[in-house]
A and B are shown apart, each in its own frame.
Chain A
Amino acid sequence: MAKFILKRLAMLPLVLFGVTVLLFGLFNTLSPEMRASIYVKDPRQLAALDEVIRKYGLKDPFHKQYVRWIARVAKGDLGYSETAKMPVTEAIRSFFPATIELSVLAFIPIMVIGVWLGTLSAVYRDKWIDHFSRFVAITGYSLPSFVLGLLLLMVFYGMLKLFPPGRYSLASDLIINGGNYAAYTGMVTVDSLLNGRIGVFFDALKHLILPASSLTYITMALLVRITRSSMLEELGKDYVRTARAKGLPESVVINKHARRNAWIPVITIASILFVQLLGGVLITETVFAYPGIGRWVAQAAVQLDIPGVMGVALLTSTLFVLGNLVADILYAVVDPRIRFQ
């Protein structure tokens, strides 16, 4: 197993190399003038365009620019992001915890509600409850995240004034940046509890509820479907029929036998799903003005903030490879029949 893991980890540099060359190459199809646009925002700076191109070496051949970038990355310097207005490493450190916080908060209900609805669907196949849960799932799947987000904001923020956008309120801001507050993880919900600031905790939660529920609703469908179909498969198997024939109560059959096996694909999909969530927050974070990786990379990509996009690409593709690895390991762990190849 160790060998398998090592082999898969060895893939990581290859993937990272491929991803960065691909993105860098895409950006380099643009003229140097266009790539300089992130540094020349004001007509007053128009005359300095050539100077800017020279300063950042934007006219150099592709390989030279790439090597220069990668050499700096090797030294731990990911460059400066003009959209985040801070160095890329600092930006990742500040935005990533926010995204993790949001993803975890969405992930838990996705798992719980998704599996629950999926099981119900399978057990009461073609009954109204099946239709209902599938309808709930499929409407979520069909709603554009930004429409749901805007509607939620309209009702819960505009009308009821309950859940504002952003990450926390000014009152919390004053506490968090007031000096007597230690940032252990960068995640507000965790740090506030560690600092004994229960008010900040609830404030952060208040800001997380809308984006997290919107993510949950939209992502849940996949899990409902997988749980349902794998439960159905298990319920049709011989051992379940035997158990039923033995006269075991239906709840025992479902919970003890069928569900346990049906969980195998669910668990393995979960780790991939979590990584997907991290990438999928782009629109949700943008709508809710939530300062995470997704919102940042959306701005960075649109404004040609190349160091910013490259930094996020390194981060997300690493997570992707690791997430897949975890999925494979989990798969082998829960199902001993699988052998590593």
Chain B
Amino acid sequence: MSRFKFTFAIPLAAALFLSSGCGKKDSSSPAGGGKTASQSSKNKDTYVHVTISDIDSLDPAWSYDTASHMVIENLYEFLVAYKGGSITELEPQVAEKVPSIENGLLSPDGRTYTFPIRKGIKFHKGGEVTPEDVRYSLIRFMLFDRAGGPSSLLLEPVTGLDSTRKDGKPLDAAYDKAAAAVTVEGDAVVLKLHKPFAPMLTVLASWSPIVSKEWAVAGAGWDGTKETWKAHNNPEKTAEAFYDQENGSGPFLLERWDKKTKEVVLTRFDDYWRGPAKLKRAHIKGVDEFQTRKLMLAAGDADSIYADYLQQPLLKNLPGVELIDDLPRIDMNPSIYFVFDIETKGNPNVGSGKLDGKGVPADFFADVNVRKAFAHSFDYEGFIRDVNRGKGTRAVSFIPKGLFGFNPEQAHYEYDIAKAESYFKKAHGGKLWQNGFKFTLAYNAGNQPREVIANMIKRAVESINPKFQIDTRPIQWSTYLDMSNASKLPMFIMGWAPDFPDPHNFAFPFLHSNGNYPRLQRYKNAEADKLVTAAMTETDAEKRRAMYYRLQQIAYEDVPSLYILNSVLYRTQRSWVKGYVYNPIHPDSPYSCPLYYLSKE
């Protein structure tokens, strides 16, 4: 996708900051103990990134959060990797070549991938990467399978199983299938999928961390045999050395992870096969308070910080700081979901549970007219303008702009109260309009954009008919999870960030009846189910694109959920930082990025 090349350019806003800031010297020195900001960096070799997130675990098979993954990305290497800022073009990393049908490393049926393993890649603590290490790494990733972890991302396409367990007990078949699917053939590792899976390589680019088998076994890890894998399935977080130590082959090695001060220090790995990184050390530090992060940046103690749009005005006029703005994200956050079959038993959100003006019945949103009416009742542009400070563009489907399969011409719903009114009048045979309704629209507490969305819908809908009542209510994440899981929220607001940049990773969670959201919504469209599966295995790009176009049209006709925003973010860094390349797929992008390419002036 060529669209993404534009994102490397530094937008106008950042350029303005650069030109205005150089004259004055910032006298503040709160965090730096008396140092002042200057235009050349204090310490050329050391990079400091200050962020808000906590690292969960450094085990690449455990961690499923961006904070941990951004560190892991610098410690470990993967079979293949994204090229620069591209989300479609891959380059080889531990593998010598990226398999394709043309180079013969991908079988024409799309099921067998052959990865010739690069020779001479060294692990941080000794040893070289062997095909056996790669085989072990992939199988360990799949069989580790901690509850709520990322293992199924590989396990499912490779073996066809969605979990290694049934009713909490490890399945023998899991090991057998995984071991049969990943084999060593000479200097190569062969991966045989149970079914063709079009996004396989993009999955491997993020979820194929290569670990050292020898080191793993020494650190209380699995020894790779069938006899012992169950003892290492779904373990406690701190059970293995992987939790807070590493022996990867990435450009940086772990100097220390201080949980107390929320700091990770990485040191350059001088024997890295692509040549040592330009930076000698990198600190990734957690500081919850924005003001502290800002002051550290101003004093030059931080080279880049985490900052959101709410905080953007407070970053104005900082000398020597650049904001790289309008960086498009690949996500769908936030979206609004309708529940087709609301659980009305013991549910405080549905009032009387009947369409009598004092509640909503279970099938309230099953009527497409109701969903369409709501789709026309949300001021999408107003939301982007007021809440998002005009940042980002209107989403027209569940596939984000810029991703393969996105249809820029897709029909979508506009804010139109008159249309909303006519749909409300048609809904439930006119009974809805006559009796009115009442339900609770909940959002998870502390999430401001979602709170505003809820209030905007409430205001718009209530203005249509005085008998319409929507109570907006913030609830804690725990309750939110509980209620949405039980389909007790008539309508809910959540976001989606993908595991890999492929439309399948949006189509499945948004439209497939077993997907993350339809499961909660109790939404099922047989055609959509079939198409999602077919598009997943289709290797012909044009046919695949057509399928996703059709799926977007189904989403438009069915309106199972409302898509609001193709979001953007901005990066805040000292202008002495060089070599930054934006790629939305990196964990915690654009705040952090692969450190290998960075340098300081």
Contact = CB atoms under 8 A, between A and B. Distances in A.
Contacts of B32: 169-171
A72 to B, nearest CB: 11
A87 B30 contact: no
Given A42-B65, A47-B519, A166 B238 contact: no
Contact of A157 (B55, B148, B291, B495): B291
B33 A172 contact: yes
Question: Chain B interface secondary structure, helix, strand, loop or mixed?
Answer: loop
B35 interface: yes
B482 interface: yes
A85 B257 CA distance: 12
B29 interface: yes
Interface residues of A, number: 49
B486 interface: yes
B56 interface: yes
B313 interface: no
B24 interface: no
Interface stretch (B6-14, B109-117, B259-267, B400-408): B259-267
A39 B147 contact: yes
Contacts of B256: 177
Interface in B286-317: 287-289, 291-292, 295-296, 301-302
A52 B517 CA distance: 18
B237 interface: yes
Nearest to A289: B289
B168 interface: yes
A289 B288 contact: yes
A164 B439 CA distance: 46
Given A36-B481, A289-B289, A157 B163 contact: no
B197 to A, nearest CB: 18
Contacts of B520: 46
Contacts of A38: 478
Contacts of B484: 46
A40 B259 contact: no
Interface stretch (A27-35, A138-146, A268-276, A316-324): A27-35
A43 B33 contact: no
B485 interface: yes
B148 A289 contact: no
A65 interface: no
Given A33-B481, A94-B260, A173-B263, A43 B295 contact: no
Given A44-B499, A161-B30, A85 B478 contact: no
B147 A54 contact: yes
A42 B64 contact: yes
A90 interface: yes
B261 A166 contact: no
A85 B259 contact: yes
B48 to A, nearest CB: 8
A85 B65 CA distance: 13
Interface in B21-57: 27-33, 35, 48, 54-56
A308 to B, nearest CB: 13
A35 to B, nearest CB: 7
B34 to A, nearest CB: 8
A86 B486 CA distance: 31
A165 B516 contact: no
Interface string A81-99: 0001111001000100000
A248 interface: no
Contact of B481 (A40, A90, A171): A40
A304 interface: yes
A48 B289 contact: no
A51 interface: yes
Contacts of B519: 46-47
Given A33-B482, A44-B497, A90 B33 contact: no
Nearest to B29: A161
Interface string B261-294: 1110100000000000000000001011101100
B479 interface: yes
B234 interface: yes
Contacts of B289: 165-166, 289
B258 interface: yes
A37 B482 contact: yes
A37 B480 CA distance: 9
Contacts of B4: none
A42 B35 CA distance: 40
Given A164-B292, A289-B289, A40 B148 contact: yes
Given A85-B55, A86-B259, A289-B292, A43 B237 contact: no
Contact of A171 (B35, B478, B495): B35
A203 interface: yes
A80 B482 contact: no
A170 B168 CA distance: 46
Nearest to A172: B33
Given A51-B147, A51-B148, A177-B258, A43 B486 contact: no
Given A48-B148, A157-B291, A33 B486 contact: yes
B494 interface: yes
A236 interface: no
Contacts of B237: 80
Nearest to A47: B516
A164 B291 CA distance: 9
A161 B16 CA distance: 27
A304 B295 CA distance: 32
Contacts of B265: 177
Interface string A214-245: 00000000000000000000000000000000
A30 B478 CA distance: 9
A95 B141 CA distance: 34
A26 to B, nearest CB: 13
Contacts of A157: 30, 291
A48 B516 CA distance: 10
Interface of B: 27-33, 35, 48, 54-56, 64-65, 146-149, 163, 165, 168, 234, 236-238, 256, 258-263, 265, 285, 287-289, 291-292, 295-296, 301-302, 476-482, 484-486, 494-497, 499, 509, 516-517, 519-520
12 contacts: A34-B481, A42-B497, A43-B496, A46-B516, A51-B148, A52-B148, A84-B259, A90-B259, A158-B291, A164-B30, A171-B31, A177-B265
Given A41-B65, A51-B147, A173-B285, 8 more contacts: A43-B494, A43-B495, A44-B496, A46-B519, A170-B33, A170-B48, A171-B32, A177-B263
List the 7 closest A-B pairs by CB distance, nearest first: A37-B478, A51-B147, A171-B33, A33-B482, A34-B478, A48-B148, A94-B260
